[in-house]
Amino acid sequence: MCRSEPLWRSHVQVREPSVSRLHRGCRRFERGRAHVGTVIPLLLGEVVAALERLYPPHTASSWDRVGLVSGDLDQPVSLVHFAVDPTLAVIDEARAAGADLLITHHPLLLRGVHSVATTSAKGASVTALIVNHIALYVAHTNADAASPGVCDALADACALVDVGPLEVVDGVGHGRVGSLARALTLREFAQQLSMVLPKAVSGIRVAGPADALVSRVAVVGGAGDDFFDAVRASGADVYVTADLRHHPVLEAREEARGGTPYLVDAGHWATEWLWLQSARSELLREFAGRGTSLNTHICTLRTDPWDFVIGAATSDNTGGTS
Ligand SMILES: [Zn+2]
């Protein structure tokens, strides 16, 4: 009977494929009945409200698609899984961990879809989320802009002080710029950053003389080649971002005549992965003092899509523009 069989009785039961929890015609979740004698978990609606306080949806770019993608606001949430990308492997990791909610930085459904059949990867992802009763929530450009958000996490990784927005548009701060406590050579700076970033196959690419001193640093997590004008205006010695393409980078280096701003491409996934810990801390802080049963887990999978590199030049300044 639907009314006497709460959909979320325990993690063990919800993960058993033989137990059907989604009953046709029964869309009500019975608060508390599934957890008699235990701490009543938060409801998804409460977690979503907290996320929207941390990462207000109206601060997202107009082209973006943020917020709740799957799930029921009345479904209990006991375990939250944080990841950069909602790939099939990540969803499977969340399922294996027993997560009720997957929070990702990148949207699963940025463009229109006409089917969520498992014949496409997107469809298989949506289906996997729904059949495993995993809610998906996306905080993307609103998390980039938030403070603390994605760019603050990258600024922290760069050990910046006196941090402020790189650019303010319509009252929303984008990117961050700040200073190092002491000047470092460009090589030292990149090496220091590499120690705190998760490892990706592409490593960190640097444009600029390795022995040049840098102290003022601009950062934008993820793809940041739209911000070169703001970086130049900020007086930054070095700009840390990712997904830097040949032409914008070459033109920026030409414009700099070999001088500042030097460029560091630290990888899209790596520069945004840093935010996951911040998001976890901020979400837990939202419920501090509530005696909540909320548990969290950060994705252990590297969703940077590159698997290996061959033929890379190993020396500095082998004919670039510096
Ligand atoms: Zn991104």
pLDDT tens-digit map of 186-226: 999 999 999 999 999 999 999 999 999 999 999 999 999 99
Instruction: State the distance from the centre of ligand 1 to the C-alpha of 150, rounded, in angstroms.
Output: 9
Cα–Cα dist 271/13, whole Å:
37
pLDDT of residue 10: 33
pLDDT of residue 16: 40
Instruction: State the distance from the centre of ligand 1 to the C-alpha of 267, rounded, in angstroms.
Output: 10
Instruction: State the distance from the centre of ligand 1 to the C-alpha of 17, rounded, in angstroms.
Output: 34
Residues 88/286, Cβ–Cβ less than 8 Å = no
Instruction: State the distance from the centre of ligand 1 to the C-alpha of 178, rounded, in angstroms.
Output: 21
Q: Which of 53, 85, 48, 93 is nearest to 222 (CA)?
A: 85
Instruction: State the distance from the centre of ligand 1 to the C-alpha of 241, rounded, in angstroms.
Output: 10
Instruction: State the distance from the centre of ligand 1 to the C-alpha of 224, rounded, in angstroms.
Output: 9
pLDDT of residue 313: 82
Instruction: State the distance from the centre of ligand 1 to the C-alpha of 106, rounded, in angstroms.
Output: 6
Cα–Cα dist 204/39, whole Å:
45
Instruction: State the distance from the centre of ligand 1 to the C-alpha of 5, rounded, in angstroms.
Output: 40
Residues 34/5, Cβ–Cβ less than 8 Å = no
Instruction: State the distance from the centre of ligand 1 to the C-alpha of 232, rounded, in angstroms.
Output: 22
pLDDT of residue 321: 55
Instruction: State the distance from the centre of ligand 1 to the C-alpha of 289, rounded, in angstroms.
Output: 33
pLDDT of residue 194: 97
Instruction: State the distance from the centre of ligand 1 to the C-alpha of 144, rounded, in angstroms.
Output: 9
Instruction: State the distance from the centre of ligand 1 to the C-alpha of 268, rounded, in angstroms.
Output: 6
Instruction: State the distance from the centre of ligand 1 to the C-alpha of 125, rounded, in angstroms.
Output: 19
Instruction: State the distance from the centre of ligand 1 to the C-alpha of 222, rounded, in angstroms.
Output: 4
Instruction: State the distance from the centre of ligand 1 to the C-alpha of 271, rounded, in angstroms.
Output: 8
Instruction: State the distance from the centre of ligand 1 to the C-alpha of 167, rounded, in angstroms.
Output: 18
Residues (pLDDT < 70) of the chain are 1-40, 315-322
Instruction: State the distance from the centre of ligand 1 to the C-alpha of 73, rounded, in angstroms.
Output: 26
Instruction: State the distance from the centre of ligand 1 to the C-alpha of 156, rounded, in angstroms.
Output: 18
Alpha carbons within 13 A on the beta-carbon side of 246: 0
**Sheet with strand 79-83: strands edge to edge:** 67-70, 135-138, 101-104, 79-83, 295-298
Structure tokens at 144: 């980039």
Instruction: State the distance from the centre of ligand 1 to the C-alpha of 80, rounded, in angstroms.
Output: 20
For the entire predicted model, the pTM comes to: 0.86
pLDDT of residue 289: 77
pLDDT of residue 291: 74
Instruction: State the distance from the centre of ligand 1 to the C-alpha of 305, rounded, in angstroms.
Output: 13
